[in-house]
């Protein structure tokens, strides 16, 4: 039988530094490794340097057998571009008015104000690819949800929807974005009901979607985030590397969403009465999705306002192993909400190092962490509780139990992304018949995990 062909619609793909690129890259690589031809339709790589930054090292993590097709944004990213030479006088003098006029001018029937503009170039690329190399399956990763429209529009080719977030409700607050019986809800229902499979990153989001759209629940399954081993991935040193604990945070901090002030209050409280040399906390990554933050946010770090706290900028994905080896324990600071897993949670677990959690106890991340032997959760977001978690972690570092460290390492390795993807892709491969299409019986269609 000929190799099946996957067309993968992924707006964010290397060299983008958007958090979604790790999942998208792993999915593309996973299908190739299991015998598929894979073509990725993604945004033009030249745009990312203007809107959120690039990591050229990430490009090296793409399997050489994956064909990547970069297409223009169609104007979708114009509001996020930072090249002042593109700005009109109105945009410079009245940026909010310019943005609203831009939104109204390009408003379409699709409920995404700006990213709907990407549909035409992405759809044209998808049709060209399908004409040259017939596609057996389309997968669309969202957001933006325009990717779903592309997948739904490629004739009778079956498709999979990969929800990295929720479209119907806010994953931080749980507030509904639109009703099931609204025009928007009916559109989403159509996409879900006609999908081969629908992937969600955790069970709380899947369960809520199954409640909202029960007729599509049989095609829904959980495909959680995992970690992708990077150079230097190995069991950590046990206990302290120096005289005092060195805590580390790695990722996009999203300072407007995470409990940063709560953490700082707990940190100051813990450091103020720390037994022995005071600990340090180093933050690496971006402080917002775009990397742009107000001066007062930057002043929180490296200014002495909070003893031992420092920010050392972004880091290439290929260098994360080096960073983890430079710290003793990790800080998991997540936005509120029971639907939040956090893209870094699996990677933190895979280090085998102690993890101090600063997030809502009922977060979806807690389900992943619950049985981790070196987990030190703050019982709530009060400064005293956060300080207690930091102190307990410090005690474990000062008097480590090698057996616990070994158990933590072994536990974390189960979150390797390839382990999670392999059975899912196997199900899809079984559903491809000798003609290269999907058979009537589709083993993955009813499975939930």
What is the DSSP code string of 344-367?
THHHHHHHT--EEEES-TTSHHHH
Integer angstrom CA distances of residue 110 from 153, 186, 210, 269, 327: 13, 12, 23, 49, 46
Q: Give the full edge-to-edge strand order of the sheet including 197-200.
A: 67-71, 37-43, 5-10, 137-142, 159-163, 197-200, 220-222
Distance (Å, rounded) from C-alpha 22 to C-alpha 6?
Answer: 18
Q: Residue 213 — φ and ψ, nearest 5°?
A: -130, 70
Q: What is the pLDDT of residues 334-343, one digit of tens each?
A: 998 889 988 8
Element (H, E) at 239: none
Residue 42, pLDDT score: 97
Contact 291, 255 (CB under 8 A): no
Distance (Å, rounded) from C-alpha 355 to C-alpha 392?
Answer: 11
Q: What is the pLDDT of residues 329-377, one digit of tens each?
A: 999 999 988 899 888 999 999 999 999 999 999 999 999 999 999 999 9
Distance (Å, rounded) from C-alpha 287 to C-alpha 323?
Answer: 17
Rounded to 5 degrees, what angle do the CA atoms 68, 74, 80 make? Answer: 95
Rounded to 5 degrees, what angle do the CA atoms 354, 357, 362 make? Answer: 135
Other Cβ atoms closer than 10 A to 7: 27
Distance (Å, rounded) from C-alpha 352 to C-alpha 365?
Answer: 16
Q: What is the pLDDT of residues 224-274, one digit of tens each?
A: 999 988 888 999 999 998 899 999 999 988 888 999 999 999 999 999 999
Q: Where are the beta strands (DSSP E) in 11-93?
A: 37-43, 67-71
pTM (two decimals): 0.88
Task: With cut-offs at 50, 70 and 90, classify the pLDDT of residue 202.
Answer: very high
Contact 271, 307 (CB under 8 A): yes
Among the residue ranges 77-91, 171-185, 393-407, the one predicted with the least confidence is 77-91
Distance (Å, rounded) from C-alpha 216 to C-alpha 383?
Answer: 43
Domains of the chain are 5-226+417-446 (3.40.50.2000), 246-413 (3.40.50.2000)
Task: With cut-offs at 50, 70 and 90, classify the pLDDT of residue 327.
Answer: very high
């Amino acid at each position: 039988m000929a190799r099946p062909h996957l067309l993968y619609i992924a707006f964010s793909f290397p060299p983008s530094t958007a958090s979604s690129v790790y999942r998208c890259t792993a999915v593309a690589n996973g299908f190739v490794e299991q015998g598929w031809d894979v073509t990725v339709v993604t945004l033009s790589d030249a745009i990312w340097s203007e809107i959120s930054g690039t990591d050229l090292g990430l490009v090296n993590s793409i399997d050489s057998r994956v064909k990547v097709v970069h297409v223009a944004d169609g104007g979708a990213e114009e509001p996020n571009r930072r090249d002042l030479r593109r700005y009109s006088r109105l945009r410079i003098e009245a940026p909010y008015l310019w943005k609203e006029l831009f939104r109204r001018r390009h408003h379409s029937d699709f409920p995404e104000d700006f990213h709907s503009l990407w549909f035409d170039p992405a759809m044209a690329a998808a049709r060209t690819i399908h004409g040259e190399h017939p596609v057996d399956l389309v997968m669309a990763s969202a957001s933006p949800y325009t990717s779903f429209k592309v997948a739904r529009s490629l004739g009778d080719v079956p498709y999979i929807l990969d929800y990295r977030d929720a479209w119907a409700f806010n994953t931080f607050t749980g507030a509904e974005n639109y009703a099931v019986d609204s025009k928007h809800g009916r559109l989403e229902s159509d996409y879900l009901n006609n999908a081969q499979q629908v992937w969600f990153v955790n069970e709380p989001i899947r369960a809520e979607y199954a409640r909202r759209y029960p007729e599509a629940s049989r095609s829904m399954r959980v495909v959680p985030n995992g970690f992708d081993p990077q150079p230097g991935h190995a069991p950590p040193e046990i206990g302290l590397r120096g005289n005092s604990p060195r805590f580390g945070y790695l990722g996009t901090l999203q300072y407007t969403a995470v409990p940063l002030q709560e953490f700082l209050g707990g940190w100051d409280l813990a450091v103020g009465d720390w037994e022995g040399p005071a600990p340090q906390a180093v933050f690496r990554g971006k402080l917002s999705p775009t990397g742009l933050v107000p001066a007062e946010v930057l002043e929180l770090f490296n200014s002495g306002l909070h003893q031992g706290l420092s920010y050392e900028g972004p880091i290439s994905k290929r260098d994360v192993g080096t960073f983890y080896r430079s710290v003793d324990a990790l800080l998991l600071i997540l936005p509120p909400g029971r639907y939040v897993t956090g893209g870094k949670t699996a990677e933190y677990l895979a280090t085998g190092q102690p993890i101090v959690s600063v997030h809502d106890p009922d977060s979806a991340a807690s389900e992943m962490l619950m049985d981790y032997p070196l987990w030190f959760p703050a019982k709530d977001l009060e400064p005293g509780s956060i300080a207690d978690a930091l102190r307990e972690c410090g005690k474990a570092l000062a008097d480590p139990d090698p057996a616990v460290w070994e158990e933590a390492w072994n536990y974390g390795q189960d979150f390797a992304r390839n382990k999670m993807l392999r059975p899912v892709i196997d199900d899809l491969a079984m559903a491809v018949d000798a003609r290269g299409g999907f058979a009537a019986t589709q083993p993955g269609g009813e499975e939930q995990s």
